[in-house]
Homo-oligomer: A and B are copies of this chain.
Amino acid sequence: MDASQEDPSQMPTAHRVALLARDDRPFHVILAQQFDRELIHTLCRLAERVRVIAETRQGANFLRTLLSHKRAMLYFIQPSTRTFLSFSAACQILGLSNNEVRDSSTSSEVKGESEEDTVRVLSQYFDVIIMRHPGEGFAESIAHKLNHMRRSIPIINGGSGKDQHPTQALLDIYTLHRNFSPAGPGGVIRAFEDNPFAGKTVAFAGDLARGRTVRSLVYLLCRYPGVRLLFVAPDELQIHEDILEHVGQQNIEHELCGSLPDVVADCDAIYMTRLQDEHDLAGESKKINLEDFRLDAAMKDRFKPKLAILHPLPRRKELDVRLDTDPRAKYWEQVRNGMWMRAALLAFVFNVDGAIIDHHHSHYSH
């Protein structure tokens, strides 16, 4: 039976990862499980170099030549501003022309076309498709189908249903890495530590049941032995069983908690999330008391001095605006890190990472 006809979610993970790779590196980027510690490390270093190079006009103009001969389609069927703009900025950094389809109602689907045909048509015009889609397995199954076409291009998952958001996880872990590695002049990280998470406690707080960013980041953190994970959520919104199972299999220490104030003093990093009530079926989350899952400026004196506060944004009340100016608030930097990480990832997918490393070596190493 043809791989493109199978349900990928029923395959063993190693097989799924293999189907997305070519020449031993990710060709399509669909799952957080595609990234092992070495690859995360490679991408963090690459992102840091892109950031440094982009600081000068000459450097920015060098980066813009790297993919000026390529075109990207941002196929964002689910509403999104920040992920969309982050990818678009990443494309611009590398000189990659980009175009968008953001509303399936303006597309040919109104004329009765299947979405598979739509994507096949796009694959004729573009050199990569960055896709945000409500369907959980859609990006992966399209990737398989494109593998069978004469013109086969990479698919990058920019968020798939409630399932995965691997590029968000990469920017999150890049932000955490930066926080736990010693910074040189200008805040630049000269050397990322191999495992800065050993002995560290990372808490996830809020709506863990329906936040795909948390799911994807947990997969990455499980690559770091010695990390300790806290899942801080009301019972109704706790992290799903499949993630806990994965964490258990990887022998990662973890705990479920019912109150953020109870654990805040233990945390080296806190990853806040908002209530995803757009997934409510009948307003059920209105009844949930979220008071114990807010991060309040009043808790400041219990924060560790090197605590990193992250939030994938947008936020509501779960994250106190009075924390915005605290040096431990990393969520604005996190936004900007996303742009660098996505540029790094695109450079990697198109095999121009070597050119970035060479440029950095000849201009910034001495």
Contact = CB atoms under 8 A, between A and B. Distances in A.
A86 interface: yes
A80 to B, nearest CB: 8
A298 interface: no
Nearest to A319: B117
Contacts of A5: none
A81 interface: yes
A61 interface: yes
Contact of A108 (B71, B125, B314): B314
B117 A314 contact: yes
Contacts of A109: 314
Interface string A141-169: 00000001111000000000000000000
Given A81-B107, A89-B71, A117-B314, A335 B102 contact: no
A111 B71 contact: no
Interface string A316-345: 100000000100000010011001000000
Interface in A60-104: 60-61, 64-65, 68-69, 71, 73, 79-82, 85-86, 88-89, 92, 97, 99, 101-103
A106 interface: yes
Counting chain A residues whose Cβ lies within 8 A of the other chain, the interface size class is 35 or more
A283 to B, nearest CB: 15
A179 B113 CA distance: 26
Contacts of A71: 89, 92
Interface string A266-307: 000000001000100000000000000000000000000000
A79 B92 contact: no
Given A89-B126, A339-B125, A68 B79 contact: no
A126 B92 CA distance: 11
A121 B118 CA distance: 31
Interface in A215-274: 274
Contacts of A151: 332, 336
Contacts of A315: 113, 117
A186 interface: no
A25 interface: no
Contacts of A61: 65, 68-69
Interface of A: 54, 57, 60-61, 64-65, 68-69, 71, 73, 79-82, 85-86, 88-89, 92, 97, 99, 101-103, 106-113, 117-118, 120-122, 124-126, 148-151, 274, 278, 313-316, 325, 332, 335-336, 339
18 contacts: A54-B69, A60-B68, A61-B68, A73-B85, A81-B101, A81-B108, A82-B108, A82-B121, A85-B122, A111-B278, A112-B314, A113-B314, A117-B313, A117-B314, A118-B314, A125-B336, A125-B339, A150-B332
